[in-house]
Amino acid sequence: MRLAVDLAHANRLKGGRPFGAVLAQGNEIIATGVNEIIASHDPSTHAEMQAIRAGTQKRANPSLAGLSIYASGHPCPMCLAALVMNGAEQVFFAFDNQDAAPYGLSSESSYQRLRLSLTPQPLPITRIDTGIHAAQLYGDEAWPAA
Ligand SMILES: [Zn+2]
């Protein structure tokens, strides 16, 4: 989980949006991704989608069965749909939409417009506390020393 958050932070420092994701099989990292929509002009290049693209190409297999995603932010509907449709096992995330909302980074309104409910959850979605504060990743609070 911490790697996804570190990737998000590094991406922000490079001028990208502060999102990172790690596709994993158990404890093995299959692929990573960061949000590339600013550089690519492609709105589908969210961190989770980029990790999925890299991981499925590496494995030469479009299935996500048995794989989990660690996303710095709660997945948006597009990414969650890709995970559910292709059989991902579970989702872990560090920051939710309430954390992201003050910075304009929440996908809550998309869930609402699509009338998508996360109750019951379509797959296990679990928040993990990394010790990093939302204001450190999204705002002006200093990043903790390594
Ligand atoms: Zn997304």
Q: What global pTM score does this model have? A: 0.96
DSSP state of 90: E
Distance of CA 26 from the midpoint of ligand 1 (Å): 22
Structure tokens at 5: 């958050």
- Which helix (H) or strand (E) covers residue 42, if one does? none
Distance of CA 48 from the midpoint of ligand 1 (Å): 6
Cβ atoms of 118 and 124 within 8 Å: the answer is no
Residues in the chain where the model's pLDDT stays below 50: none
Distance of CA 145 from the midpoint of ligand 1 (Å): 28
Neighbours of ion ligand 1 (CB under 5 A): 46, 76, 78-79
- pLDDT, tens digit (0-9, with 9 covering 90-100), for 22-57: 999 999 999 999 999 999 999 999 999 999 999 999
